[in-house]
């Protein structure tokens, strides 16, 4: 239905944005859950430090985050040059866009999941352990299902953020059509030239529609989970 609406390059941007947002969300979710759990439940020496690092992308202007990513993960960067040797390239690649989006969305994801973990009644986890479940099994069978609403919330925040992320992405991986040009970068480009507003708005609408669809789906999922716990 949008066929007439968008040119092939724009379609490419839509597809790429979806891919970037999905991959960023899915790939960072396990790490997000782990970090949230560590922050919520463990007391360890680097606790505050880790917490601070997680929040950094929120505090820093996106261009700064993008710049730091560029000098770290760029092919000349400390990490980037090492990763390149083992075949992983983030720089100027869609994977880099996903990395940038994931990092920008990480504080939001972690906070949502952490809040859910903190709300779990640890007496239930204790009950699980008395029934023979190891810490890991307790996590998998009790904690995880109970924090699903938080995970869904964290994931949708991350997805929405990834769909809208622009500053860090364009600074890190540039704006190469078909490779790193996401919807927000395309929108930005249109806004840079006279007469581009209409085109930009079309893309904005597409981006909003996608993100809202994901949002509504997540609401349904979350409500379903909540209803199950409240007793079907």
Partner 1 sequence: MTLALELRHSFPSFELDASFEVPKGVTVLFGRSGSGKTTIANAVAGLFKPDFGRIVLDGQVLMDSTRRVFLPPHKRRLGYIFQEGRLFPHMTVRQNLAYGGRFAPRQEAVENMERLIGLLGIEHLMDRRPALLSGGEKQRVAIGRAILASPRIVIADEPLAALDEQRKGEILPLFEKLRDELAVPILYVTHSPAEVARLATTVVAMEHGKVARVGPPAEVLSDMQVMPLGVRAAGSMIVARVAAHHDDGITELDANGVSLFLPRLDKRPGENIRVRIPAQDVLLMRSRPERISALNVIAGTVVEIRAGEGPGAMVSLKTDAGLLLARVTKRSVAALELAPGVVCHAVVKTVAIAPEDVGH
Partner 2 sequence: LTPLRAVAGEVTVFAAASMKNAMDEIAQKYEAATGNHLVVSFAGSSALARQIEQGAPADIFISANAKWMDTLEGEGLVDPATRFDLLGNRLVLVAHGKDAAPVEIARGMDFAGLLGEGRLAMALVDAVPAGIYGKSALSNLGLWEQVEPKVAQSDNVRFALALVSAGEVPYGIVYATDAVSDDNVSVAGTFPEDSHDPIVYPAAKVSESENPLTGELLDYLRGDDAKQAFEKQGFTVLAVRPAG
Under the binding rule (CB under 8 A), the answer on residue 29 touching a second copy is no
- The DSSP result for 81-150, as a single string, is HHHHHTT---TTSHHHHHHHHHHHHHHHHHHHHHHHHHHS-HHHHHHHHHTT--HHHHIIIIIHHHHHHH
Tell me the closest approach of the beta carbon of residue 216 to a second copy, in angstroms: 6
Q: Does 184 bind a second copy (CB under 8 A)?
A: yes
48 binds, among partner 1, a second copy, partner 2, none (CB under 5 to 8 A by kind): a second copy
Minimum CB separation of residue 160 from a second copy in Å reads 4
Work out what residue 58 binds among partner 1, a second copy, partner 2, none; the CB cut-off runs from 5 to 8 Å by kind: a second copy
Q: Which of residues 91-150 bind partner 2 (CB under 8 A)?
A: 91-92
Q: Which of 105, 21, 16 is nearest to 65 (CA)?
A: 105
CA distances to 4, 57, 103, 155, 215 from 162, in Å? 26, 13, 9, 10, 13
Contacts of 164 (CB under 8 A, 6+ apart): 184, 207, 211
Select 97 or 155, whichever has its Cβ closest to partner 2: 97
- For a second copy, the binding residue among 59, 88, 140, 193 (CB under 8 A) is 59
Provide the 3-class DSSP secondary structure of residue 50: helix
Tokens of 29: 């979710």
Which residues, numbered 164-193, are part of the site for partner 2 (CB under 8 A)? Answer: 166-167, 170-171, 173-181, 185, 188-193
- Part of the chain binding a second copy (CB under 8 A), chosen from 29-37, 72-80, 128-136, 157-165: 157-165
Burial of 179 (0-12, 13-18, 19+ CB in 10 A): middle
Q: Which residues lie near partner 2 (CB under 8 A)?
A: 63, 66-67, 70-71, 74-77, 91-92, 166-167, 170-171, 173-181, 185, 188-196
């Amino acid at each position: 239905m949008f066929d007439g609406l968008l040119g092939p390059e724009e379609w490419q941007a839509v597809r790429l944005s979806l891919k970037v947002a999905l991959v960023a969300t899915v790939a960072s979710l396990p790490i997000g859950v782990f970090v949230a759990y560590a922050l919520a439940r463990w007391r360890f020496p680097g606790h505050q430090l880790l917490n601070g690092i997680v929040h950094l992308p929120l505090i820093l202007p996106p261009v700064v985050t993008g710049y730091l990513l560029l000098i770290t993960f760029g092919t000349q960067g400390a990490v980037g040059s090492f990763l390149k040797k083992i075949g992983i390239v983030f720089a100027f690649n869609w994977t880099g866009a996903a990395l940038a989006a994931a990092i920008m969305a990480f504080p939001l994801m972690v906070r949502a999941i952490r809040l859910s973990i903190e709300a779990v009644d640890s007496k239930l986890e204790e009950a699980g352990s008395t029934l023979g479940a190891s810490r890991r099994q307790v996590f998998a069978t009790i904690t995880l299902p109970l924090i699903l609403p938080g995970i869904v919330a964290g994931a949708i925040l991350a997805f929405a953020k990834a769909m809208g992320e622009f500053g860090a992405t364009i600074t890190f991986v540039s704006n190469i059509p078909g490779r790193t040009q996401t919807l927000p970068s395309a929108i930005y480009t249109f806004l840079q030239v006279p007469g581009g507003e209409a085109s930009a708005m079309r893309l904005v609408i597409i981006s909003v529609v996608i993100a809202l669809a994901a949002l509504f789906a997540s609401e349904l999922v979350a409500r379903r989970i909540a209803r199950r716990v409240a007793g079907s």
